[in-house]
Amino acid sequence: MTAATSDYLIAPSILSADFARLGEEVDDVLASGADIVHFDVMDNHYVPNLTIGPMVCEALRRHGVTAPIDAHLMVKPVDRLIGDFIDAGASYVTFHPEASEHIDRSLQLIRDGGCKSGLVFNPATPLSFLDHVMDKVDMILLMSVNPGFGGQSFLPGTLDKLREARRRIDASGRDIRLEIDGGVKIDNIAEIARAGADTFVAGSAVFKASNPEDPHRYDGVIDDFRQALAGA
Ligand code: DX5
Ligand code: ZN
């Protein structure tokens, strides 16, 4: 079952935004119609890159961002940072099963803090990690690239994995979002939606606008995504 068009959520990854002007970048992409702020947290340990942490999440909240913030934790160990992101105002907190010694406990920590919980699957991570925790996840995030960097190409094998994840969600009868992250572009988003995704992370495809003074610079790309999804 694919999601209704109105249920599709677009989640720009701020990894590709201009960090020197982050507040404005987030304001402007939301004003252009994006639904969720995708917030990539990398620790130079679980993944070979280093990005931003809970202080920046909190700063965005203080700046006035009210949209959901989707904290994608690529860190190991993960439990302490789960607490920090709950305190910093995250809405979703997702983590990789390989980064937690006790997956069930980490998921519970997220929900106990009032956030929505999610598990993230690298291209080579099997969906069997879901077997005993379907009642504890609000989001399943499939990586369509190996995590660590923006601007990589979508791995086509992820389409079959999306279909399998969609089957699992439908069979569970639960309200679980299916998010895709990595290499999502205008020309492949419809096919990705048809495979079952309903939440779409896009970094380099969104934050490439030319004129930083134009607050509407992201209108075009968000509209193009919506149009492509309408045809899915
Ligand atoms: C990669 C990150 C992604 C990344 C996506 O590890 O999780 O969120 O920013 O960037 P694009 O859309 O450029 O592939
Ligand atoms: Zn991400």
Q: Closest by alpha carbon to 144, among 191, 107, 106?
A: 191
With tokens 């995704």, the residue in question is 197
What is the predicted pLDDT for the residue at 211? 84
Q: Which residue has the higher pLDDT, 174 or 213?
A: 174
Pair 196, 166: CB distance under 8 Å: yes
Task: Please report the DSSP string for 114-125 in residue order.
Answer: T-EEEEEE-TTS
Strands (E), the chain: 9-12, 37-42, 69-74, 92-95, 116-121, 139-143, 177-181, 199-202
According to the annotation, is 203 in a ligand binding site?
yes
Of all atoms in ligand 1, which is nearest to the CA of residue 42? 6
According to the annotation, is 89 in a ligand binding site?
no
CA of 144 to the centre of ligand 1 (A): 9
CA of 201 to the centre of ligand 2 (A): 7
Residues, Cβ < 5 Å to ion ligand 2: 40, 72, 181
Q: Is residue 7 among the annotated active site residues?
A: no
pTM score > 0.75 for this model?
yes
Q: Does residue 152 line the site of ligand 1, with CB under 6 A?
A: yes
Q: Is residue 224 among the annotated active site residues?
A: no
Q: What are 126-169's pLDDT values in tens digits? A: 999 999 999 999 999 999 999 999 999 999 999 999 999 999 99
Domains of the chain: 9-231 (3.20.20.70)
DSSP 8-state symbol, 11: E
Q: What are 74-99's pLDDT values in tens digits? A: 999 999 999 999 999 999 999 999 99
